[in-house]
Amino acid sequence: MLMKTLKWRSEYKPDEIRWDEISGEAMTGKIYRSDYFDKSGRSILVMRPGCQNTKKSKGQIRYLVYCMENAILNLPAGQDQMVWLIDFAGFSLPNVSLLVTKLTADVLQGHYPERLGVAILYNAPKFFESFWKMASPLLEPKTKNKVKFVYSDRPETDKIMEDLFNMDELECAFGGRSPVTFNIDDYAARMREDDKKMPLLWSPENSALASEPYRMKNHGSQQCDSGLKTEETASDVIGETEAASEKSGETDTASDKEDTEAASEEREETETSSGKRGENATESVKEELTETVSEKKEETETESSTVKSTSSQGEGIASAGKSGSSSDP
């Protein structure tokens, strides 16, 4: 799975998808990341299949991948899963697509394993039950068990929402008390800001930030200060260690010093004798090199005389040849 995902990421390049590329898919708010988290600190992707505004599955899946990457970017430290809130308001048969469901399952299970914490299917219509029977076999049992059906007219399912979310932050559409609704302009501004952070998440130079993107977003300056303090602390520790080493050196015994001085004298005598031998060897090598250079010089002078003699003879032959010939063949 890892090898396949690495290949997929190198070809599909999900971390390079930007808002301006997929903004057309987002106009109706069919998928967006909420500006609040669940009680466990997990990112929340709100999905409204009834707001589908495009027909090509390629663009729909690419937008889904963009939303997945953005949700991961905004996960707090120590959290690696997200929540899907699927609102079926306005959902009808024309919105059903087994192909898109299969592609969604392939991407989720193949390239984002264990990223889904729970999926809430809110007020799914009756006819969806038949579709679910066909689609659920496409999911792995573990993924299938993360799907929860919640209905606003069934009080027994309200506890699921209360256990997962802060009801004051949760939108009214899901039984919460927040009147906030999706606004494309506000959302576009948020996504463009997040796009600027995405390269930092995957940059090798920012591996520490990449492991905690939520802190990268909210405590970037504090981390920088912390980094400086850490460097200063390390310098202080090194300084203290060096000082301790100096004190330790000063507390050596007198006998150790005498042994050291005696060893130094012996080493100096050895080096002196070695140096003399080295000088004798160097003078011997110099004499051999001088003799070799002299021999080569004599050979060069001999060759030069030979070449000059040969050149003079060649010039005489060439002059004779010119006097006996008037044109080229």
In a domain, 312, yes or no: no
Structure confidence at residue 323 (pLDDT): 39
Is the separation of the CB atoms in 54 and 24 below 8 Å? yes
Structure confidence at residue 220 (pLDDT): 46
Q: What is the pLDDT of residues 242-289, one digit of tens each?
A: 544 454 455 444 444 445 455 455 555 544 444 444 444 445 444 544
pTM for the structure as a whole: 0.62
Mean pLDDT (10-residue bins), the chain, 329 residues: 95 96 97 96 96 95 97 93 96 87 92 95 91 88 92 90 96 95 97 93 60 45 44 48 49 47 50 46 46 49 44 41 39
Q: What does the alpha-carbon distance between residue 248 and residue 134 come to, in Å, rounded to a whole number?
A: 78
Structure confidence at residue 134 (pLDDT): 87
In a domain, 100, yes or no: yes
Task: CATH number of the domain at 106, please.
Answer: 3.40.525.10
In a domain, 262, yes or no: no
Structure confidence at residue 150 (pLDDT): 95
Q: What does the alpha-carbon distance between residue 241 and residue 71 come to, in Å, rounded to a whole number?
A: 46
Helix-, strand-, coil-residue percentages of the chain, each rounded to 5: 65, 10, 25
Structure confidence at residue 237 (pLDDT): 44
DSSP 125: -
In a domain, 243, yes or no: no
Please count the structural domains in the chain.
Answer: 1
Structure confidence at residue 120 (pLDDT): 97
In a domain, 270, yes or no: no
In a domain, 190, yes or no: no
Instruction: Look up the domain containing 23 and give its range.
Output: 1-178
Is the separation of the CB atoms in 32 and 70 below 8 Å? no
Structure confidence at residue 278 (pLDDT): 44
- Please report, for residues 142, 249, 292, 303, 310, the alpha-carbon distance to residue 298 in angstroms, rounded to integers and kept in the order given: 92, 63, 10, 9, 19
Structure confidence at residue 239 (pLDDT): 52
In a domain, 170, yes or no: yes
In a domain, 282, yes or no: no
